[in-house]
Structure 1
Amino acid sequence: MDGKTICNGSITYTPNGISLLQWQAGSDGVTLYLDRGQKIVPLAKGIRLVSTPSSVADGRGMVVVTKQAEKFSLRYLPIDVPLADVVNAWMFLESSQDRELFSTNSGLFRALEYNQLYELYDSESYQCGNYDQSTPTRPYFVTTDIFWELYAAAYEGIFVLSEKQAAIFHFWEFVRQANESLQSKPESKMAKAFSAMVAVRDSDTDNIEAKKIIAAEGSSLSSVTGEPFDFGNLTPRSHYAADSELQTYFRASKYLMDLALTESDVVQLKALPESAIQSARNWINVYTPFIVPSKRPLLWEPTTAIPKYVRHPDTNAQAFPLSWGIDNEILFSTVYHSDLPAEEQITGPQGHRFLPSGLDLASVLGSQLAETILTQSGEFQKYPPLKLQIAYLKNKVNDSLREYPENIYQQWLSGLAVQWSTSINAPGNTINTKIWSAKRLQTGLASWATLRHATLLVNERVVAECGEGGFEFIVLRPPRGYVEPDPKTFEAIAKMFDATIKLVKTHGKNWNGNTPDDNLALQEGIIRRLSESRDRVLAFRTMAQKEISGQPLTNQEYEDIRYVARSAEHNFLIFKSLAQKDFALSTPDPIPKVADVAAGNGKFLLAGVGSPLEWDQIVPFFGRKQIVKGSTYSYHEISSPSVMTDNEWRSKLTTVPRPEWIKEFISADELSCPAKAP
């Protein structure tokens, strides 16, 4: 008992193992010791027991023997023990704060130092007893997060593979051909711009503009346009910081995308030779399956299909059709724009709203908690038009998500809408809806930040304008885990894998190389891994459905939960290898990452993923309850005077605050390993 000695009488554990009951002959009642002796509570006052009491299975009472006038009586006495029917509570309580969090919210989160979500699912096997009955081992909780992250690895891996095997080649062909053609008018802006891009490709810093593009430092006067240009925005970030080829490609292509085109520029680019225009189309077409259409007209197409949800299409043509998803439209519509109708201007008594929040997106896509947080934080009071805009956007959302059903970017957003909007009720109401809603909001926002991170280059960033007796030992049981009872989200993730399989079948025919573990042709190997991952997600969906309907899981399903890391880790590493040279298996980058998703008033909104959190949650367990542990995303968003690379984000992550709406569920303590006795 943390160095304290309990003397005299008999001592027994309560069924949940978090406290001790002491009975002493000749004394009334019993004494309950909580928090490893830090809290002492007398029970059954005024009742003289003649023998050691016996706790009933649910922990809510004792069977005792009393004596009165030489007459013995067998009695049941109700007692108040925290988490009484949670059979393994003792494995998860490190402090009185933990006990309060479990009692109030049915669960809690803990900060982890792991680099990947799946690492937690090896923690008990390798560090805490390796699933035997001699050392206590905690059961696992299979969350949707590990499969969101597995899908993200597949999406980004195929995205980067497509860039390396096709997009980069076609881009440089376009630049080469356009540059040769434009030299007939060497003093034109476009001729100078394409000459600068060629110089970037060749690392030629004698070209003044190329030198600034390569340096990517702040805003300065462009020698091409004669106007200020934000060269700092050309800092390679996301996966483009991985190697020199991607860095050079990012700087040059982002430069072209960020150039504001005049009418004469458009005329020049439209007059390029057909071979150059075809190279540009080939470059664009590599990205088309991964993103949604632009809100701007395209240079080399007679007609442009602007998404129907776009309220204010942009008439300025551009060389690359930067993606404008429903998320872009939401972030655009929830900040101030001086040129919009008065009723759409997000402003208030204290000024204009220049930066949106991920909560705007979640609220529109169905998260009641996100809207509540916006209300409680005073956003609607500060900016009265904001609530009307969110209501308007909600009416547009259902139609927009159906508009591009085969597009995997839109399917990702549809999956987030499922996670945020579907009603949730755990079997027996064991999972408190407050913590579960906060977890689902955090998971969705982190998954969205991951999507924006992968598509950072080709996604348009929103810009706002302006003693005696014996001692009873705990009987250890083989750990039996649980699946987050959210079958609709598991199903949505499986559909995303299906859509990606179709993409690979259509667009992967000319990929070169072999998958690293089985030496299959690249397209065949990727389809196999995507199919395996989809099938595992569907298997856990089935388990979640069985939990909700009260059906028992099979021994094999419990084994699948126990070894869930096997379902995630290997295919995760395969998908990550697609971005590596020669598809080599290697240690992937840590999970923290960041994307700049909006800008306004000299600041950038950074949406980022932090280090994983552990989610310890009370769930049903054969008529009683138990605590299980799983991993979840963590989400952060901050305003910053500059964009950040992933490495910069990771170095500053300890100083980045967590959202207020998640802080109340965070424990200050890590779990001991192995679990400590009370």
Structure 2
Amino acid sequence: MQRKGIICIWLIGMLLLITLVSGCSGTSGAAEQNHAEGDTENPAVAGFASYNEVPVDCSPALKPYQVEPGLGNVTNKDMFQFSPEAERLLVKNGFVVVPNEHQREFFMLYEINRYDPVPSFITTDSMLHNYHLFFSHLLRVIEKEKLAPELKELTAAMLTVSQKQYAALKGSDWENAAKRNAGFFAVAAKLLDPQVNIPPQVKQVVAEELQLINNSEGIYVSPLMNMGQALDITDTPQEDYSQYIPRGHYTTDGLLQSYFKAMMWYGRMTFRLNSEDETKSAVLMTLALGEGDNGQKWDKIYQPTSFFVGRADDLSYLQYRELLDKIYGPKAGLGELASGGDKWATFMQAAAELEPPAINSIPIFDEDIQPDRESAIKGFRFMGQRYTLDADVFQRLVYRAVKENSQGERRMLPRGLDIPAAMGSDEAYAILEAEGETNYAGYRDNMNKMRQYITGLDKNIWTQNLYWGWLYTLEPLLREREEGYPAFMRNQAWTRKDLNSYLASWTELKHDTILYAKQVYAEMGGGMEGVDDRGYVEPNPHLYARLAALVNMTREGLSARDLLGQRDWDSLDRLEQLALALKTISEKELSNQPLTGEEYDLIRSYGGQLEHFWLEALRDIGVDHRSAIAENPAALVADVATDPNGRVLQEATGNIFEIYAVVPVDGTLRIAKGGVYSHYEFTWPLQDRLTDKKWHAILDAGQAPPLAGWTETFIAP
């Protein structure tokens, strides 16, 4: 009976959305206009989808209010019991967050509200989590159904061409480069299919690489990349094999695990420009991609992943192809290349003039041993990992971009707060300053430069792909709330609560894209009748508007490339409509306009809607009932930066915490209850990068690291 009731609630809620999404029309707020110059369509993603800004029209007009000691002016205070500290914070700030060690997903909390009944407080956290669920689901499905089979075919074809090139170039100066390529693609082929036969000439070196990948224990010299080269220690190619531990959603399926390892191999191994032999390998790969439909297969993998995450940060096939066509002509073959001469010298010079990567994602020595950083990291990658803005921020705020502090310590790992601080959050910067993170030489200057750069970005840059769009969606969490917003949102505690929401949603983004996004390396060294349970929506209309636009861009982009089934199209459409409805309700709340009965019903039915989205987003891994929540909680973990001396920075979300806010409804104050993220940041041994399963075990054992000290302003036992 309970299950049928939930379904009915959800169906009613979905019907109500149709009447709620028209909202208020008009001009955007000032912050929206700053990013809205030029065409509303982004040409950077023209091959997939446009980002269509959703206008926001609201003039916050709520009168200030204050919660009386003892909650004397709160109409439904008797429905709740708080600890003394929780009540103190509720009175002081107008809201409080209370940990709950048993709440594994957002929908469970909101459904409990419905049946208690308790007024629901719909949070931005819960909607952002919804998007994460679908982003991860869609990427999983596309990888399993489209990208993994394509990668297997491309790898087999490249291995075949590489063997032919090796046979043709034996005895020439290009022999070693061709042999390296045969080994390179044989490693990937073996990762994708253990039954593949390895060419005899590279059998030993491939076995050595596979052992290092499967052991995943840390940083070692790469046998394959070092093959046939007489290099000193500072020039010897090294790889962090701990990166091959499948993480994120890639642990859920054997096919995804093999895909993860092969794509990590293709994304990380660098054919460096400072090695002529490695550059020859890169050029031979470029020629091989020009045979048959190999280039099309490569593009079918590269373009969708670019839509999700972004473009490669390293030199790529497309750049080398352009240079080869310009210098040698479009029909140049092995014979002309192997003959050497002035054209090869011209190519090497032209490649040296290409832009280096912004992000260092490989182990290199510090500047005393290896002073030329660009030479050490610049090179070609077959399917390079992608540039992301947050990784760029991290790169500029760790050693060697910043130097030692007054104690002679190096900043080998960043902090998650670096990202919102760079995006303009003065509160994030103040926390970093109070904790001594800004005291490293060069930190303040680099942070100011990143702030100026980010402030100057227009909307077309912010919406060039889904990763950037997600960061753009989070930006409204960093704004100060002016007069006219609810009292609980106009204090330092709420500013910090929003920072917690930002970091947790950003953690979900890092988790979902852990395979593709480059990681920064520092350098070595049913309700009851008669009860008024009318709830409230956290009024952040700009965030809901951007989320609706991001969902629309996701749906239209994937659908245009035939990468989206009808069922997922329908779910994304419903998610967009829900975001638009919450935007409309937020605008009305801030303008002090009464909500309709249908809008209050939408708030009541929110838990059932969340459960529907949860089930839809997890059905590809076999989830078809809420009973699977124990094995599929919201909690997750992602490593986001590496100190090659042996530690990684882990960002994680845990169980869903409860938030209680004193909200105005029809001229009176009441407590509404909702769910918010919990967020953790800690370091961990490099050779043991955490998976979600390991993190869940840590949480279940009650061994989670402490929450950040700055959250004590709004979290109470």
Please report the TM-score for the alignment, with normalisation by the length of structure 2. 0.72
Q: Does 1:527 align with 2:569?
A: yes
Aligned to 2:712: 663
CA shift digits 1:161-200 (9 cap, x unpaired): 2211221112111211111122243862221222222222
Q: Separation in 2 of the partners of 1:260 and 1:492?
A: 37
Gaps of 5+ in 2: 1-64, 168-175, 197-202, 227-236, 272-277, 324-353, 361-372
Aligned to 1:547: 589
Aligned partner letter, 1:285: Q
Alignment of 1:402-441 (within 5 A): 402-404=459-461, 405-421=463-479, 423=481, 427-441=485-499
User: Any conservation in 2 of the 1:297–1:303 contact (CA below 8 Å)?
Assistant: no
Q: Does 1:265 align with 2:304?
A: no
**CA positional deviation for 1:363:** 0.8
CA shift digits 1:533-581 (9 cap, x unpaired): 111111111111111111111111111111111232212321232x436
Q: Does 1:151 align with 2:151?
A: no
Aligned to 1:636: 680
CA shift digits 1:352-403 (9 cap, x unpaired): 21111110101111222211111221222x2142122111111111343534
2:153 to 173, 181, 186: 173
CA pair 334-445 structure 1, distance change in 2 beyond 3 A? same
CA shift digits 1:447-497 (9 cap, x unpaired): 11111111111110011113xxxxxxxx97421111101111111111111
Q: Secondary structure at the residue paired with 1:605?
A: strand
CA shift digits 1:176-228 (9 cap, x unpaired): 11111222438622212222222223335993433442343444454423565
Q: Separation in 2 of the partners of 1:610 and 1:307?
A: 38
CA pair 323-223 structure 1, distance change in 2 beyond 3 A? closer
Q: Separation in 2 of the partners of 1:392 and 1:349?
A: 22
2:306 to 285, 288, 294: 288
**CA positional deviation for 1:238:** 0.5
Q: Secondary structure at the residue paired with 2:144?
A: helix
Q: Separation in 1 of the partners of 2:481 and 2:161?
A: 59
Q: Separation in 1 of the partners of 2:106 and 2:483?
A: 25
Aligned partner letter, 2:268: D
Q: Does 1:457 align with 2:515?
A: yes
Q: Does 1:646 align with 2:635?
A: no
**CA positional deviation for 1:629:** 0.7
CA shift digits 1:221-263 (9 cap, x unpaired): 5442356543222011101111111111111221232223121
The structure, 1 or 2, with the larger RCO (C-alpha pairs under 8 Å, 6+ apart) is: 2
CA pair 615-448 structure 1, distance change in 2 beyond 3 A? same
Aligned to 2:224: 224
Alignment of 1:272-671 (within 5 A): 272=288, 274-275=291-292, 276-301=294-319, 302=321, 315-337=378-400, 344-350=401-407, 351-380=409-438, 382-400=439-457, 402-404=459-461, 405-421=463-479, 423=481, 427-466=485-524, 477-507=531-561, 509=562, 511=563, 523-577=565-619, 579-580=620-621, 587=628, 589-600=632-643, 601-642=645-686, 643-653=689-699, 654-668=703-717
CA pair 307-92 structure 1, distance change in 2 beyond 3 A? farther
Q: Separation in 2 of the partners of 1:232 and 1:385?
A: 30
**CA positional deviation for 1:659:** 1.0
CA pair 430-251 structure 1, distance change in 2 beyond 3 A? closer
Q: Secondary structure at the residue paired with 1:334?
A: coil
Q: Does 1:248 align with 2:239?
A: no
User: Any conservation in 1 of the 2:129–2:505 contact (CA below 8 Å)?
Assistant: yes
1:201 to 179, 182, 192: 192
Aligned partner letter, 1:171: L
Gaps of 5+ in 1: 1-58, 61-79, 129-136, 338-343, 467-474, 512-521, 669-678
Q: Secondary structure at the residue paired with 1:638?
A: strand
User: Any conservation in 1 of the 2:313–2:358 contact (CA below 8 Å)?
Assistant: no
* RMSD of Structure 2 on Structure 1 (CA): 2.9
Q: Separation in 2 of the partners of 1:214 and 1:81?
A: 60
Q: Secondary structure at the residue paired with 2:394?
A: helix
**CA positional deviation for 1:299:** 2.2
**CA positional deviation for 1:606:** 1.2
Q: Secondary structure at the residue paired with 2:86?
A: helix
CA shift digits 1:492-514 (9 cap, x unpaired): 1111111112212212x2x5xxx
User: Any conservation in 1 of the 2:122–2:536 contact (CA below 8 Å)?
Assistant: yes
User: Any conservation in 2 of the 1:431–1:619 contact (CA below 8 Å)?
Assistant: no
| Structure having the higher Rg | 1
CA pair 546-215 structure 1, distance change in 2 beyond 3 A? same
Q: Secondary structure at the residue paired with 1:348?
A: coil
2:87 to 85, 99, 102: 99
Aligned to 1:29: none
Q: Separation in 1 of the partners of 2:218 and 2:358?
A: 34
CA pair 297-399 structure 1, distance change in 2 beyond 3 A? farther
Q: Secondary structure at the residue paired with 1:595?
A: strand
Q: Secondary structure at the residue paired with 1:174?
A: helix
User: Any conservation in 2 of the 1:607–1:636 contact (CA below 8 Å)?
Assistant: yes
**CA positional deviation for 1:621:** 3.1
Aligned partner letter, 1:145: D
User: Any conservation in 1 of the 2:615–2:625 contact (CA below 8 Å)?
Assistant: yes
Q: Separation in 1 of the partners of 2:670 and 2:211?
A: 61
CA pair 122-488 structure 1, distance change in 2 beyond 3 A? same
User: Any conservation in 2 of the 1:425–1:431 contact (CA below 8 Å)?
Assistant: no
Bigger proportion of residues as strand: 1
CA pair 354-142 structure 1, distance change in 2 beyond 3 A? same
**CA positional deviation for 1:282:** 2.2
**CA positional deviation for 1:431:** 3.8
Q: Separation in 2 of the partners of 1:598 and 1:570?
A: 35
Bigger proportion of residues as helix: 2
Q: Separation in 2 of the partners of 1:415 and 1:315?
A: 32
CA shift digits 1:142-161 (9 cap, x unpaired): 10111111111121222122
**CA positional deviation for 1:430:** 4.0
Q: Separation in 1 of the partners of 2:240 and 2:486?
A: 56
Q: Does 1:189 align with 2:180?
A: yes
* Number of residue-to-residue matches in the alignment: 554
Q: Secondary structure at the residue paired with 2:225?
A: coil
**CA positional deviation for 1:630:** 0.5
Aligned to 2:327: none
Q: Separation in 1 of the partners of 2:654 and 2:355?
A: 35
Q: Secondary structure at the residue paired with 2:379?
A: coil
User: Any conservation in 1 of the 2:220–2:241 contact (CA below 8 Å)?
Assistant: yes
Q: Secondary structure at the residue paired with 2:659?
A: strand
Aligned partner letter, 1:580: I
Aligned partner letter, 1:438: R
User: Any conservation in 2 of the 1:401–1:414 contact (CA below 8 Å)?
Assistant: no
Please report the TM-score for the alignment, with normalisation by the length of structure 1. 0.76
Aligned to 1:210: 210
CA shift digits 1:71-128 (9 cap, x unpaired): xxxxxxxxx85222111223233322222121222221112222212211011334x3
201-210 or 556-565: which moved more?
201-210
1:123 to 108, 112, 129: 112
Aligned to 2:39: none
Aligned to 2:75: 87
CA pair 427-228 structure 1, distance change in 2 beyond 3 A? closer
